Structure 1
Amino acid sequence: MVEYPRREKLAFLPTPIHKLEKLSKLLDGPEIYLKRDDITGSAVGGNKIRKLEYTVADAIDKGCDTLITCGGLQSNHCRATAFVATKLGLECHLVLNKTEEPKVEANLFLDKLAGAHIHYIPSEEYKKNLENLLKELQEKLNKQGKKAYVIPTGASFGIGNFGYIKAAEEVSKQCVEENVTFDYIVTAVGSGGTYTGLSMGQKLFLPKTKIVGINVSDDREYFVEKVKKISKESSAYMDKEIPIEEEVIHIIDGYVGLGYAKSRPEELKFIEDIARLEGVVFDPVYTGKAMFGLADQIKKGTFKKGEKILFIHTGGIFGIFPKAEMFELNQ
């Protein structure tokens, strides 16, 4: 049993599990199932809301009235944070990596719709000085009489990590209900929190299942260290440490492609094919790349026929709209 920190109940849980019958048949390999964390909500949908349930509860319990977080111009996490803040009566400040002239669309449009305060930071400064920028903004707001709480990228830190420890427990209960055992749970790895939470939850609730990540930014070595760091932070909230040893961190590198949030034609074609095959939309930044990688690994024989894979659909549908002109849709 886990004694979880307090959480604000914001997500629609439990999310269902669907079998991707047609894709499984097409790839002629393992049985592929989908955990629909894309439908945890609408404007606040996706995996980020599970992390934010614990994060904002911690902020409120510490007497904070303002949230500060960060991400790319089309950050799903920032969009979810903006709407959660509005729902709970908190002020929200978003520090966004300005890699290009901002076009107010998709997630960025929703950030503004929710009333978030936007701070654009040039890409080089963002990459080199993010931690200091967040701290400076926090100090500035505190001097104005507010009490600001800083949430790191993707809410991937100790308290936010409980969202996916809890999700692993949720999956274990669904396995009992449906009389199924998954050999693997596969997820995109973008900031490390979802993978870390699932890995810790696996030790507690899913002993027969291996957690596999497919990174969509940075590389395996970066995330190995990130996973160890986040798991240590989470353990500080618990009565026992749940270490994640390097030998059990299974992250498949090689599918970042052109870079974070950059798309290759074959990735976009794959997203189109899955939409028309299964009626499910993956996003170009996270789930599209990760599922593309999973399909490729199945073709290479990494996963075997007869095995059962649960893929976590972490949401991000709004991320597809800025890429609309890049799709060469077949009519």
Structure 2
Amino acid sequence: MNFTKFPRRGYLQGQTPIEPMKNLSKALGGKVNLFIKRDDLLPGASGGNKTRKLDFCIADAIEKGADTIITCGAIQSNHCRLTASWAAKEGLECHLVLEERVKGSYKEDGSGNNFLFELLGVKTKRVVEGGSNMMAEMEKTAAELKAAGKKPYIVPGGASNPIGALGYAACAEEMMDQLNTMGLSIDHVVVPSGSAGTHAGMVVGMVGTNAGIPVHGIDVSKPAADQEPGVYKLAQDTAELLGIKGGIERDAVKCYGEYVGPGYSLPSDDMVEAVKLFAAEEAILLDPVYTGKVAAGLIGLVRKGAFPEGANVLFLHTGGSPALYAYLDTFRA
């Protein structure tokens, strides 16, 4: 895959580690060998996967002459935190449109990522009702900023368009380089599936590197039947952008929707158990919205025997731990 065709800001500082999770593997019965790729350690304010995507998206914005970034996300959006982080580093204004997906959940003085938006100098935050057309809302903000003489650039939610998904196609290539150097064979990769850019990019990267490793997406907001078509479409578009011949086979996209719990960002018992297990067994912090539910999916799949005995399974940790502090009551209950 040739990524030199696309502008990039160079936000990454080398490869993120791949580590064994021996304690967790043992705690789950020792039938599979668990590993983790630590994208929670990526640069940016408190790290996380969106740095890989924004490496491409913000480069595109700057190349197009933008002086202002607009993006959107949920109330505790990790994507919005990292967009604000890199906008601050680049000297760009950042404007957020926040979707209150759970009615009454927004608090002006809220903790977690919502607090970090303030520290990172976000220029404006506008909260809209759950289910709003977020692109239309961002375009409304863009029109206002253009009228004020600004040059805004819209980064979609999660930076999940083909440009952003390049970040995870490149991550797959990075991962395979590490595995080859380590002499480590991985049989399955487990990733979050939300706005779809990480999942789609990883699928494209696996095809582009001829890795032949199946990618399992754990849904954090939708049933699998609703999630898979969007992931597949984005994977196809990203493969086309990269010029991958033959495109993406439909069966390369696999989602699991049974770990969403009561709904997006709403706590589940499985999520709480997963967060506590990762912390107690591996000293790794997850978040309640994304990685906690993805880890619950990983644990659930291991327990039900979805992976063959002796399989090496890699969990992609996409970060998000600042959101933990907005959910203290959930973990102390």
* Interval of TM-score (by shorter of Structure 1 and Structure 2): over 0.9
Q: Distance in 1 between matches of 2:17 and 2:230?
A: 29
The 3 A distance-change label for structure 1 pair 266 and 56 is same
Q: Which residue of 2 aligns with 1:77?
A: 79
Q: Does 1:112 align with 2:118?
A: yes
Q: Which residue of 2 aligns with 1:193?
A: 197
CA positional deviation for 1:166? 0.5
The answer (yes or no) to whether the contact 1:168–1:206 under 8 Å persists in 2 is: no
Q: Distance in 2 between matches of 1:143 and 1:217?
A: 35
Q: Distance in 2 between matches of 1:162 and 1:305?
A: 33
- How many equivalent residue pairs? 327
SS of the residue aligned with 2:258? Answer: coil
TM-score, normalised relative to structure 2: 0.93
Identify the range of structure 1 (68-77 vs 268-277) with the bigger mean alpha-carbon deviation. 268-277
Identify the range of structure 1 (193-202 vs 271-280) with the bigger mean alpha-carbon deviation. 271-280
Paired letter, 2:3: E
CA positional deviation for 1:92? 0.5
SS of the residue aligned with 1:255? Answer: coil
> Where do 1:84-123 residues align within 5 Å?
84-98=86-100, 99-100=103-104, 101-102=106-107, 103-123=109-129
CA positional deviation for 1:236? 4.7
Paired letter, 2:89: K
Q: Distance in 1 between matches of 2:325 and 2:115?
A: 11
TM-score, normalised relative to structure 1: 0.94
Q: Which residue of 1 aligns with 2:138?
A: 134
> Where do 1:275-294 residues align within 5 Å?
275-294=279-298
Give the share of equivalent positions with the same residue, in percent: 36
Q: Distance in 2 between matches of 1:208 and 1:240?
A: 15
Q: Which residue of 1 aligns with 2:13?
A: 12
CA positional deviation for 1:25? 1.5
The 3 A distance-change label for structure 1 pair 308 and 58 is same
Q: Distance in 2 between matches of 1:136 and 1:163?
A: 28
Identify the range of structure 1 (208-217 vs 35-44) with the bigger mean alpha-carbon deviation. 35-44
Q: 2:318 aligns with which of 314, 322, 325?
A: 314
SS of the residue aligned with 2:234? Answer: helix
Q: 2:170 aligns with which of 162, 166, 179?
A: 166
SS of the residue aligned with 1:94? Answer: strand
Identify the range of structure 1 (32-41 vs 97-106) with the bigger mean alpha-carbon deviation. 97-106
The answer (yes or no) to whether the contact 2:191–2:216 under 8 Å persists in 1 is: yes
Paired letter, 1:132: A
Paired letter, 1:118: T
Identify the range of structure 1 (203-212 vs 303-312) with the bigger mean alpha-carbon deviation. 203-212
SS of the residue aligned with 1:207? Answer: coil
Paired letter, 2:125: H
Q: Does 1:21 align with 2:27?
A: no
Paired letter, 2:65: G
Q: Deviations over 1:41-85 (max 9, x none)?
A: 251510000000000000000111110000011100000000100
Unaligned runs of 5+ in 2: none
Q: Which residue of 1 aligns with 2:275?
A: 271
Q: Distance in 2 between matches of 1:255 and 1:228?
A: 20
Identify the range of structure 1 (94-103 vs 18-27) with the bigger mean alpha-carbon deviation. 94-103
The answer (yes or no) to whether the contact 2:37–2:315 under 8 Å persists in 1 is: yes
Q: Distance in 1 between matches of 2:215 and 2:46?
A: 25
The 3 A distance-change label for structure 1 pair 66 and 44 is farther
Q: Which residue of 2 aligns with 1:35?
A: 37
The answer (yes or no) to whether the contact 1:172–1:206 under 8 Å persists in 2 is: no
Q: Deviations over 1:5-37 (max 9, x none)?
A: 121111333000010001112222211100000
The 3 A distance-change label for structure 1 pair 322 and 123 is same
Q: Deviations over 1:223-271 (max 9, x none)?
A: 2221232224324533345632322211122000011111023421331
Q: Distance in 2 between matches of 1:57 and 1:316?
A: 23
SS of the residue aligned with 2:149? Answer: coil
Q: Which residue of 1 aligns with 2:215?
A: 211
SS of the residue aligned with 2:2? Answer: coil
Q: Deviations over 1:96-123 (max 9, x none)?
A: 1134241331111111111112333332
The answer (yes or no) to whether the contact 1:13–1:40 under 8 Å persists in 2 is: no
Q: Distance in 1 between matches of 2:313 and 2:244?
A: 29
Q: Distance in 1 between matches of 2:144 and 2:228?
A: 34
Identify the range of structure 1 (172-181 vs 228-237) with the bigger mean alpha-carbon deviation. 228-237
CA positional deviation for 1:305? 1.6
Paired letter, 1:312: L
